[in-house]
Amino acid sequence: MFLFSKVRASHDSSTAEREAITITTLTERARETLNGAWLGTHTKINEMYPHQWGWDAPFLSMGWATFKPERARQELTSQLSHQWSNGMIPQIIFHDGEARQYFPGPERWQAHPHSGQDGAPTSGCVQPPLQAIGVRRVAQALPDGRDFLKWAYPRLLQWHRYLYRERDPDGRGLVYVRHPWETGLDNLPDWDGSLFGFELSDIPAYERKDNQHVDDRHRPDNEYYDRYTALVDRFRAADYDEAAIRNNCPFLVEDPAYNAMLCAANRALIDIARQLDRSATEPEQWFRATSQGLRDQLYDNGRFYAYDRYNETMLDDHESLMGYIPLFGGAPTDRQAQSMVDRLDAMGYFDTRYALPTTSPDDPAFDPEKYWRGPVWGFTNWLMIRGLSDYGFHDRARSIEQGSLELIQRHGFCENHHPQSGEPTGAKGFTVTAALFLERAQNNSCPKTDAPS
């Protein structure tokens, strides 16, 4: 066993108590957490995020696949069934049509006409495209996995075609995001320059709901929400026409982490095509273009940088995990990967009690309690464990894994944690953390990331 064989914990007073919480017990608790959040067709993330989310759904499906593969199928089926006619898979699906203690809800987005004829309302932006990875994993767990692949494959192709057609209009091989929410790493300091670079006009009144669930100091400040909301209002005004948005959107960023996940998803698509005896030419071309785009255009001196298309500038003022997530997806050369790991070490990412802080402790914007500006997150740790393992950095992957496990043993399934104290700094009862725990516990030998077989 690679990662979960023995929990190496420091010998403080609670070590014995912690070690008593075995992987078997945690597995039961993780399953209970998922079962308790099942809504019949999909999983509620938790009370704070009471809907189905873009990249959370594939993560959840990987957890379900370990013990209830039929639910894993349903999770992805219900998400892919809400694909827009242009191929877009939306960031949020409001399955019951209600906002439910979440802002912005369907009324603010007004994206319903695009959400498919009978479908539930959705938001009008995207999140990281991990669906192909989820589909491939779930199909492995299903007795009729090939049927599921057949159903999902054309939908996945439409999704990636949308991304390359609408988000890479110049054929750079790199797709752009048009809102920090699209990155999934919403409040990284890297986005500040672009987000605060535009004039803010009057914003119709709105009421935040997120800070009714967790302490204000953990969430983005109001000045960020004003800008998040202003971007939503612009998308709505453009009636979700991508060309119109592109001409009028001051936030257009080529995010290396997003593109790395797209690389990994393209590799999964190639594999699915081969399993179905279909031509893999299109996803192969996508994979080549995006991995080359990442290497040639966004890499420099031990990390990747985002490019702000609107202001035509590299976003190089900050040091965050976004620069290293491309270890996942196979784009960096071995030499680049080695430099990235050297730089991760030099920038203090492994110096906190629990790795990996989302923003480097050496960055002036580092805040160990603030959303994406320091706390340790299951999503990013999962990507980094997989990426580091793929390039042979097993010791570092193992140390992240051990820290993550200890956090779960001490605090249960939380959204994120203070990288020194381990205290939860976000939402509790977080199903995605439970799902990722189940996925890692089952696949603890860390197979190569979605390499085409």
C-alpha to C-alpha distance for 252 and 311, rounded to whole angstroms = 9
- Considering only residues 64 to 93 of the shown chain, the ones binding ligand 2M8 according to CB under 6 A are 91
**Smallest distance from ligand 2M8 to CB 371, Å:** 7
Dist CA 95 CA 333 (whole Å):
42
Q: In angstroms, what is the minimal distance from the CB of 392 to ligand 2M8?
A: 28
| List of E strands, 28-69 | 52-53
Give the separation between CA 153 and CA 133, rounded to whole angstroms. 11
The verdict on whether 147 is a catalytic residue reads no
CA-based nearest residue to 300, from 345, 325, 336, 272: 336
* Active-site option among 186, 284, 316, 423: 186
Site for ligand 2M8, residues 117 to 136, rule: CB under 6 A? 127
Distance CA 341, CA 393 (A): 8
Chain residue at closest Cβ approach to ligand 2M8: 184
| CA distance linking residue 95 with residue 78, whole number of Å | 9
For the bound state, the minimum distance from the C-beta of residue 56 to ligand 2M8, rounded and expressed in Å, comes to: 5
Q: Please list every residue from 399 through 418 that binds ligand 2M8, using CB under 6 A.
A: none
Among 50, 69, 87, 184, binds ligand 2M8 (CB under 6 A): 184
HEC letters along 127-175: CCCCHHHHHHHHHHHCCCHHHHHHHHHHHHHHHHHHHHHHHCCCCCCCC
- The residue among 53 and 159 lying less far from ligand 2M8, judged by its C-beta, is 53
Q: Which is nearer to ligand 2M8, 61 or 127 (CB)?
A: 127
Give residues with Cβ within 8 angstroms of 354, minimum separation 6.
376, 403, 404, 406, 407, 417, 419, 420, 422
CB of residue 333 to ligand 2M8, shortest distance in Å: 29
Query: Among 243, 123, 252, which Cα is nearest to 198's?
Result: 252
Binding of ligand 2M8 at residue 56 (CB under 6 A)?
A: yes
Among 31, 37, 42, 53, binds ligand 2M8 (CB under 6 A): 53
Give how far Cα 93 sits from Cα of 54, 96, 153, 162, 427, Å: 8, 9, 21, 18, 20
- 109 scored as a contact of ligand 2M8 (CB under 6 A): no
Closer to ligand 2M8 by CB, 46 or 336: give it: 46
Neighbours of 256 (CB within 10 A): 28
The interface region with ligand 2M8, picked from 31-39, 47-55, 318-326, 434-442 by CB under 6 A, is: 47-55
Does the footprint of ligand 2M8 cover residue 45 (CB under 6 A)? Answer: yes
Residue numbers 209-268 binding ligand 2M8 by CB under 6 A: 210
The footprint of ligand 2M8 on this chain (CB under 6 A) covers a number of residues equal to: 11
CB of 398 to ligand 2M8, least distance (A): 25
The count of other CB atoms within 10 Å of the CB of residue 447 is 11
To ligand 2M8, the closest distance from the beta carbon of 104 in angstroms equals 9
Among residues 186, 284, 351, 423, the one that binds ligand 2M8 under rule CB under 6 A: 186
Task: Write down the least CB distance from residue 183 to ligand 2M8, Å.
Answer: 8
Are 435 and 59 in contact by the 8 Å Cβ rule? The answer is yes
Terminal-residue alpha carbon distance, the chain: 22
Phi, psi of 110 (to 5 degrees): 45, 45
3-state secondary structure of 92: strand
Q: Which stretch binds ligand 2M8 (CB under 6 A): 13-21, 48-56, 304-312, 362-370?
A: 48-56
Q: How many residues belong to the chain?
A: 453
Which of residues 283 and 368 has its CB atom nearest to ligand 2M8 in the complex? 368
Is 367 known to be catalytic? no
Give the residue from 244, 262, 241, 87 showing the smallest Cα distance to 172.
262
Among 181, 191, 240, 413, binds ligand 2M8 (CB under 6 A): 181
Angle value at C-alpha 377, between 372 and 383, nearest 5 degrees: 110
Instruction: Give the residue with the Cβ less far from ligand 2M8, 182 or 390.
Output: 182
CB of 188 to ligand 2M8, least distance (A): 11
Contact yes or no for 206/222 (Cβ under 8 A): no
What does the binding site for ligand 2M8 look like in residue numbers (CB under 6 A)?
45, 49, 53, 55-56, 91, 127, 181, 184, 186, 210
Where in the sequence numbering do the catalytic residues fall? 186, 415
